[in-house]
């Protein structure tokens, strides 16, 4: 965390990996703040202050904040001066809440409350589908799981394809918000997915926004966030819940996406979207299934028995051309599942997942992700998310 820390103009933030990810990323910084609550609360707060420092007037916070422009990575004309024009999973309320839990610093919550409220209002206002009440994404990268098979259909790709084809399709969409002058209705003609994990994390964060509103004495806003959480939860039940799990929906018609991914099935455990009985079914039938998700080194992002599963890293190319979210294990996913298991009382399974996570970092280092069958480290090095193991306690 110290090696990846950057300071500029009195601000402080952490880059996910020095070489390959040299800027500030939205959900990464939320993870960073949570990791930092175990070492240095002042740094955790600084990370979150920096994250909202380039917020647009309409509440939008881009998935990348460009503090320094000289790097070669992601050189794209987003149409905004210092940020990208895409979202990422909205974990800001969770991160601020976790900081607050440590020292009960109400002033810090008061300082960040309005930027957070504006951010969540933006998503609710700009991305909600009137007919279903669900939130839609205009680019796979907004899910944080850039090349996940959940987006293949909307991109027009088969389950097995060259990484290059995926990258090219996503990059071709990057310019869309600028070309569409940031109007969602226009962007969504090209790409639209109602992503189960994103909606799940939003329900959870609306719940936490309600608690943050109460902390700063905004009773009406607390009720509003509660109502949003409930509305979204109900919409997810109605449209996404089938055969005991949550599925994402593709395109403006909302066609069910059949890819089996761990975040769609198991993030709802962390957010409390299943009843105890439903949770037991999801854990026993899916999570602990040795042919799909309960693999020797941990839980893969895409199930081993899904046609899109691939985990081998080519010996060539840049990290973003690698299997990424189509099979490998990511520590953030382990961290979410761990919390879900604890929430529903699956303590033995949670401990096993924690031990596997520790082993991955001990044996393979702070790598971006890990091979689910061999445990080998893959992708970028000196990647911060391995630090989340400290929070599995
Ligand atoms: C990759 C990941 C994304 C992350 C970014 C920076 O693009 O897919 O989730 O935010 O790297 O670490």
Q: Mean pLDDT by 10-residue block, N- to C-terminus, for the chain (393 residues)?
A: 96 96 97 98 98 97 90 88 96 98 98 98 95 95 98 95 91 92 90 97 98 98 98 98 98 92 98 98 98 98 97 67 90 98 98 98 97 95 97 95
Mutate to test the pocket of ligand 1, among 76, 89, 146 (most ligand atoms within 8 A of CB): 146
Q: What per-residue string of b and e applies to 328-341 under the rule 16 or more CB within 10 Å gives b?
A: bbbbbbbbbbbbbb
Answer whether 16 contacts ligand 1 (Cβ < 6 A): yes
Residue 341 phi/psi, 5° resolution? Answer: -65, -40
Assess contact for 118 and 126: CB atoms under 8 A.
Answer: no
Assess contact for 190 and 178: CB atoms under 8 A.
Answer: no
Quote the CA–CA distance of 228 and 267 in Å, as a whole number: 19
Quote the CA–CA distance of 32 and 35 in Å, as a whole number: 5
Q: Atom 2 (ligand 1): residue with closest C-alpha?
A: 144
Quote the CA–CA distance of 34 and 391 in Å, as a whole number: 8
Say what the pLDDT of residue 365 is: 97
SS3 of the chain: helix, strand, coil, percent, to 5: 50, 10, 40
Task: Tell the burial category of 290 from Cβ atoms under 10 Å away from its Cβ (0-12, 13-18, 19+).
Answer: exposed
Answer whether 146 contacts ligand 1 (Cβ < 6 A): yes
Say what the pLDDT of residue 236 is: 98
Q: What pLDDT digit, counting tens, does each position of 312-337 carry?
A: 877 655 555 578 999 999 999 999 99
Say what the pLDDT of residue 146 is: 96
Which atom number of ligand 1 is nearest to the Cα of residue 332?
A: 9
Answer whether 25 contacts ligand 1 (Cβ < 6 A): yes
Distance from Cα 20 to the centre of ligand 1, integer Å: 10
Say what the pLDDT of residue 318 is: 58
Assess contact for 72 and 56: CB atoms under 8 A.
Answer: no
Mutate to test the pocket of ligand 1, among 14, 28, 137, 387 (most ligand atoms within 8 A of CB): 28
Say what the pLDDT of residue 68 is: 83
Mutate to test the pocket of ligand 1, among 16, 51, 167, 385 (most ligand atoms within 8 A of CB): 16
Q: In whole angstroms, how far apart are CA 201 and each of 120, 235, 356, 360, 375?
A: 12, 14, 24, 25, 27
Say what the pLDDT of residue 163 is: 87
Quote the CA–CA distance of 22 and 2 in Å, as a whole number: 14
Assess contact for 17 and 4: CB atoms under 8 A.
Answer: yes
Quote the CA–CA distance of 242 and 232 in Å, as a whole number: 16
Quote the CA–CA distance of 64 and 56 in Å, as a whole number: 13
Quote the CA–CA distance of 378 and 370 in Å, as a whole number: 5
Q: In whole angstroms, how far apart are CA 178 and each of 84, 126, 365?
A: 10, 15, 39
Distance from Cα 375 to the centre of ligand 1, integer Å: 20
Which atom number of ligand 1 is nearest to the Cα of residue 21?
A: 6
Quote the CA–CA distance of 5 and 288 in Å, as a whole number: 37
Quote the CA–CA distance of 371 and 311 in Å, as a whole number: 6
Distance from Cα 144 to the centre of ligand 1, integer Å: 6
Q: Which of 382, 374, 344 is nearest to 356 (CA)?
A: 374
Quote the CA–CA distance of 217 and 317 in Å, as a whole number: 52
Quote the CA–CA distance of 19 and 15 in Å, as a whole number: 9
Distance from Cα 368 to the centre of ligand 1, integer Å: 9
Q: Atom 7 (ligand 1): residue with closest C-alpha?
A: 146
| Secondary structure element (H or E) that encloses residue 11, with its range | strand 11-14
């Amino acid at each position: 965390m110290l090696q990846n820390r950057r300071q500029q103009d009195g601000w402080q933030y952490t880059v996910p990996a020095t070489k390959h990810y040299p800027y500030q990323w939205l959900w990464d910084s939320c993870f960073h703040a949570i990791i930092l609550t175990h070492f240095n609360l002042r740094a955790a707060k600084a990370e979150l202050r920096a994250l909202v420092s380039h917020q647009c007037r309409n509440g939008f916070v881009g998935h990348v904040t460009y503090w320094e422009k000289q790097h070669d990575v992601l050189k794209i004309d987003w149409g905004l001066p210092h940020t990208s024009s895409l979202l990422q999973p909205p974990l800001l309320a969770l991160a601020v809440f976790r900081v607050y839990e440590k020292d009960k610093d109400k002033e810090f919550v008061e300082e960040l409350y309005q930027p957070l409220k504006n951010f969540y209002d933006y998503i609710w206002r700009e991305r909600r589908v009137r007919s279903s009440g669900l939130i839609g994404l205009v680019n796979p990268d907004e899910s944080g799981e850039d090349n996940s098979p959940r987006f293949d259909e909307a991109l027009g790709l088969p389950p097995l394809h060259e990484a290059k084809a995926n990258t090219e399709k996503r990059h071709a969409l990057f310019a869309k918000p600028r070309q569409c002058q940031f109007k969602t209705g226009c962007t969504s003609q090209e790409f639209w997915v109602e992503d189960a994990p994103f909606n799940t994390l939003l329900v959870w964060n609306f719940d936490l926004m309600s608690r943050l509103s109460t902390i700063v004495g905004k009773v009406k806003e607390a009720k509003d966030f509660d109502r949003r959480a409930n509305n979204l939860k109900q919409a997810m039940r109605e449209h996404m819940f089938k055969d005991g799990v949550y599925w994402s929906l593709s395109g403006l018609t909302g066609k069910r996406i059949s890819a089996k991914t761990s975040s769609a099935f198991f993030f709802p455990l962390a957010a409390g979207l299943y009843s105890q009985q439903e949770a037991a079914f999801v854990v026993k039938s899916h999570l602990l299934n040795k042919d799909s998700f309960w693999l020797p080194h941990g839980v893969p992002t895409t199930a081993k028995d899904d046609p899109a599963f691939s985990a081998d890293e080519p010996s060539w190319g840049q990290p973003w051309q690698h299997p990424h979210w189509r099979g490998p294990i990511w520590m953030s996913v382990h961290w979410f599942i761990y919390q879900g298991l604890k929430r529903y009382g699956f303590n033995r399974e949670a401990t096993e997942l924690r031990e596997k996570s520790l082993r991955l970092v001990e044996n393979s280092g702070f790598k971006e992700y890990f091979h689910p069958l061999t445990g080998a480290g893959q992708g970028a090095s000196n990647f911060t998310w391995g630090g989340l193991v400290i929070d599995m306690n």
